[in-house]
Amino acid sequence: MDSDKEQLEQETLPLSLRPEWSDVKPIPQDDGPNPVVQIAYKQDFRETMDYFRAIYSAKELSPRALQLTREAILLNPGNYTIKTLKKGKCVSENGEAVMPKIFMNVWHFRRQILEALDANLPEELDFVGCIAKDNSKNYQIWHHRRWVAQKLGTSATSKELDFTRKILSLDAKNYHAWSHRQWVLQALGGWEDELDYCQQLLEEDIYNNSAWNQRYFVITRSPFLGGLEAMRDSEVSYTVEAIMANPDNESPWRYLRGLYKNNTESWINDPKVSSVCLKVLNAKSNHVFALSMLLDLLCHGFQPSQDFREAIDALTSDSAPIDSDLAKAICDVLQRVDMMRANYWIWRKSKLTPVA
């Protein structure tokens, strides 16, 4: 506790007043002779970056340099810039004297220091975790965390899965968190409980399309589930149940189609697929996605029973003529009930092959 207090007090003291930095000459930022829109940096940020430029140009991989990157990151977690040095010139291809540019990425330099010092990487994960709480969509933080986890190997698996779980509990659709979680599973393992995790998320919010996507990722990639073919039957049953509970939820409809990837014949011939379409159509509400899937089935060779014809007829307005071609009749209904994409359904109808 005392050490944390001492560190905080040390960080609030200007670098120019700290004895350990007395040998360093800071390098000011060079905005050129006539900056158009000069940024009004705060004094603490300006000073920190001036000292950072100095240690960066000197390639100093030391404990104090590591501490300085910490302070720079706390001031600006998205620290990524290219700046010129005031001193030194070089000659360009056309013979003009130009200022040399240095690539200054605080996170990148921090990784160089961590590696050089053989630093405590579990502590680094804790540091990144604290920064990520308020910056969970900063891609540099996630890139840095992946680097650290990769260095730690499988010993970091549990911690990384728990970390992404916490982030996703606050933002269920955080792309960076999902991407990192999928990387962890593939690179470090931890598949055993992932399907249960997806189940939990969908129980909390069946409309969570990210959880549906992760569920598909798990059943197709997990080394413990046997792959899509082995999981298809149980997953179709699960998805049909989800559709019947919420027919207006597009995610399970897309998931159902994905369960037959590269196997159109099975998709057309599985009675559970056409059956769920018919059940939703007979319910006469929230049937846009059921109509859309039925249209796709017909376009791929599905042979409908009279029950489907009757269900479509029941959805057609009394004043509108009923097309004898079931696929065209479906397009007519979709044009009317899905007005946002009316032009699309008109186009789909125009592309249908006439019935012989």
- Is 83 annotated in the active site? no
Q: Which of 25, 86, 137, 284 is catalytic?
A: 137
Q: Which residue has the tokens 């977690």?
A: 77
Q: How far is CA 115 from the centre of its chain?
A: 28
The answer to whether the CB of 221 falls within 8 A of the CB of 198 is: no
Long-range contacts of residues 285-291, Cβ cutoff 8 Å, at least 24 apart: 285/247, 286/246, 286/247, 286/248, 287/247, 287/315, 287/337, 288/248, 288/334, 288/337, 288/338, 289/247, 289/248, 289/250, 289/253, 290/247, 290/253, 291/315, 291/330, 291/333, 291/334, 291/337
Contact yes or no for 105/139 (Cβ under 8 A): no
Q: Distance between CA 317 and CA 333 in Å, rounded? A: 8
Residue 172's nearest CA partner among 142, 134, 200, 152 is 200
155: closest CA among 109, 198, 199, 189? 189
Q: What positions carry a catalytic annotation?
A: 137
